[in-house]
Structure 1
Amino acid sequence: VVNDEGKAFPFLVARTKEPGRVTLLISATSLKDRGYLNHPDSLLPVLAREFQWVVSKADTAPKAKAVAVERNLEKAPILTDEEIAGLSAEERVRLLQQLFDTYLRTVDDQKSLDGQPWYEVGHSAPLPPTHADSTTKLYDIRIREALQKIVRDPSFLERTPKAVRNLLNGKVWNVAYVKIDQRDWATRTRVLSEEKSVVVGKRERRIQPAAILVNVHRLAAADDPFYRETQGLPMGALSADQLAHVIALEIHHNIQEKSLSGHTAQDALTAPR
């Protein structure tokens, strides 16, 4: 099973000419290679998860429009991996602050948290917002705290070096909490397609930037690399320390894989309606 770019997938949801109707293609070869044939108990959760794409692609209702986000691409201080490796912890934090000012955004373009409930750290019960944008501001601050921990703490450089590098070299241009009811994932990495790449910095580097999204009301799945870190809490109830580990592991494990796959292009952000 391949998409129109020739990339292979175990599952692929394709739209049809009939509105609201899609075709779910399943690669028998892939199922065999992954050990799912004749093991329905193992296949069931994987197949069930795929149906979020069925629902998404069959949905013809109007989608929320993204809010224009201003970035100063020309002045963004984009360094090479070699230059980043030579920075001290405090220099990495200063570089991150400069990226906050010019390039790296910590709120999603759809403002999907406006008017939404929030969580106290360590508690699973959602609480009503005090103002229309109070939840958005709360999680904006928590994301920034988590990112500063990632670039400052040497343990992240040792255990998840891809996370530190890609936060500082321009590969990641958005890390944000979101609320997407139609998705069952806790985190997601989305990389812009090649035709939407951007030219950044004085050296005019061409980058396919990624967005790292954290679904505020979802729980981690057992196969998520950060499952133990979350202690069964919704993503929005994590402390800045816990969130730092979640984000670092998401970037470290998925940034390269997602840049080579086609699912991210299909997975357009659907804000609550």
Structure 2
Amino acid sequence: MKTIGLQSEPVLDCRQVSVLHITTLLLRAGLIILVSRGASWAIGAGAVACALLFVPAVHANHQGHVSHPDGEAHITVGAGYSIPGASFQIFMGPGNDAAEETGLTQADRSAAVETVREAFAVLVQHRTDYPRFDESLKKEALARVVIETTVVNDEGRAFPFLVARTTQPGRVILLISASSLKENGYLHHPNTLAPVLAREFQWVASKADTAPKPKMVAGERALKSAPIRTDQDIAALSGEERVRLLQQLLGSYLRTVDDQRSLDGQSYYEVGSTVLVAPTHPDSTTKLYEIRVREALQRIVREPFFWERTPKAVRSLLNGKVWTVAFVNIDQRDWATRTRVLPEEKAVIVGARDQRVQPAAILVNTYRTAAPDDPFYPDTQGLPMGALSAEQLARVIALEIQHNIQEKSMAGHVAQDALTAPK
């Protein structure tokens, strides 16, 4: 089955950006030298010196695991905890000031380790029920699990889990926030935590995949001539005027087919059916879903319902903040929809006013169903995304944009994370 290679996506996931916040480590004379990024002083005009903090080395007992190059390993303390049937171990990260701020006690940290260990034991026992986890075990994709007090990305945003690559091709690290486990009531409840952990393995499998990038097949957008409008202008337009503006954008800026054409040659669903139908031509499925997306977009910009309930979605489709809305086939991921925002360094200049925009791609995963916590879950009635009518799809897209479009992108992968990115 043809799928999009996720490592090649040039945009960032607004809900699950996995970033490992790693301090550079240098080994000299048995000491670890931490290079402080924040401690620098101006000496004279433009002279800057970095302060170096010397601390004793912290050794993690990998118990037979392949050692990692200096500077790659996330800091851990103590011996690793093994899980029968798994090649990776669980380690504790060092305590920090966040423990006091979050009220996390040593007993909580110990409970986090034991809960995670027991949850993984449940997953190993029922691995055939969790295909992403099973795939990762077979490939030994997970190098280790590190339980931190808190887990944050480069922007300081807290996440319950993060996945980051290592310098070893096909190997990743899973970071788990102990404070998040406590806050969400997972401590001492491994059976409840197990399926939550299992969902994270779609990211483990994806980040461990070093397959070559698929070729892009779409042409360039007409950025300068794109007829984007201001929010004030959009509010003054009638429904039919918005439809006409949408049609102009569809011809120059807004795309409704993914760049990899991942649905070419794939089967499709009739509306309301869960039975897959083989295409009559290689591009039949791609064209079918492009038509359905365009029908849905017209509903969003025309009907008063969407202007009243999801105004951000209407504006974002017409002001340049969204430049792709498309059905896709991303077999490596289990989500139904995603919003991916272009990072700040790749922002584009759009329209006659030379507006700087970090545009977003709204992706609908054709063969997936909505999860109960998706805002559009009731509208899908348990159907795969590809089986939704244009009316249902309009609500799904509008709610996805309304809930997940952001004014600025999240931080990208750190340099460490790019070490095993496919060439």
Task: Give the TM-score, by structure 1 length.
Answer: 0.92
Matched, 1:56 2:201: no
Q: CA deviation at 1:70?
A: 2.1
Q: CA deviation at 1:69?
A: 2.9
User: Partner residue of 2:362?
Assistant: 212
User: Partner residue of 2:274?
Assistant: 124
User: Partner residue of 1:114?
Assistant: 264
Matched, 1:228 2:378: yes
In the TM superposition, what are the counterparts of 1:166-185 in structure 2 within 5 Å?
Answer: 166-185=316-335
User: Partner residue of 1:269?
Assistant: none
Cα RMSD (Å): 1.7
Change (3 A) 1:258 1:243: farther
Task: Give, in whole Å, the separation in 2 of the partners of 1:51 and 1:29.
Answer: 20
Task: Describe the superposition over 1:62-119 as per-residue Cα deviations: whole angstroms up to 9, x where unpaired.
Answer: 2322223321100111111111111111111111011101100000000000000011
Q: CA deviation at 1:258?
A: 8.2
Q: CA deviation at 1:262?
A: 5.4
Residue-pair matches, total: 264
Structure with greater strand percent? 2
Contact 1:2 1:9 in 2 (8 A): yes
Task: Give, in whole Å, the separation in 1 of the partners of 2:351 and 2:408.
Answer: 24
Q: Percent identity?
A: 75
Q: Which range moved further: 141-150 or 40-49?
A: 40-49
User: Partner residue of 1:270?
Assistant: none
In the TM superposition, what are the counterparts of 1:138-177 in structure 2 within 5 Å?
Answer: 138-177=288-327
In the TM superposition, what are the counterparts of 1:194-209 in structure 2 within 5 Å?
Answer: 194-209=344-359
User: Partner residue of 2:62?
Assistant: none
Task: Give, in whole Å, the separation in 2 of the partners of 1:2 and 1:86.
Answer: 41
Task: Give, in whole Å, the separation in 2 of the partners of 1:198 and 1:163.
Answer: 20
Q: CA deviation at 1:43?
A: 2.8
Contact 1:76 1:102 in 2 (8 A): yes
Contact 2:326 2:363 in 1 (8 A): yes
Amino acid at match of 1:27: S
Larger radius of gyration: 2
Task: Describe the superposition over 1:182-221 as per-residue Cα deviations: whole angstroms up to 9, x where unpaired.
Answer: 1101111100100111000010000000000001111111
In the TM superposition, what are the counterparts of 1:1-273 in structure 2 within 5 Å?
Answer: 1-256=151-406, 259-260=409-410
Change (3 A) 1:217 1:10: same
Amino acid at match of 1:253: H
Unpaired segments of 5 or more residues in structure 1? Answer: 267-273
Task: Give, in whole Å, the separation in 1 of the partners of 2:177 and 2:256.
Answer: 37
Amino acid at match of 2:179: T
Equivalent position SS for 2:349:
strand
Task: Give the TM-score, by structure 2 length.
Answer: 0.60
Task: Describe the superposition over 1:114-152 as per-residue Cα deviations: whole angstroms up to 9, x where unpaired.
Answer: 000011001000000000001000100100000000000
Contact 1:189 1:258 in 2 (8 A): no
Contact 2:155 2:410 in 1 (8 A): no
Q: CA deviation at 1:29?
A: 1.8
Unpaired segments of 5 or more residues in structure 2? Answer: 1-150, 418-423
Task: Give, in whole Å, the separation in 1 of the partners of 2:329 and 2:156.
Answer: 32
Task: Give, in whole Å, the separation in 1 of the partners of 2:189 and 2:316.
Answer: 38
Q: CA deviation at 1:41?
A: 4.3
Q: Which range moved further: 61-70 or 236-245?
A: 61-70
Amino acid at match of 1:14: A
Amino acid at match of 1:204: D
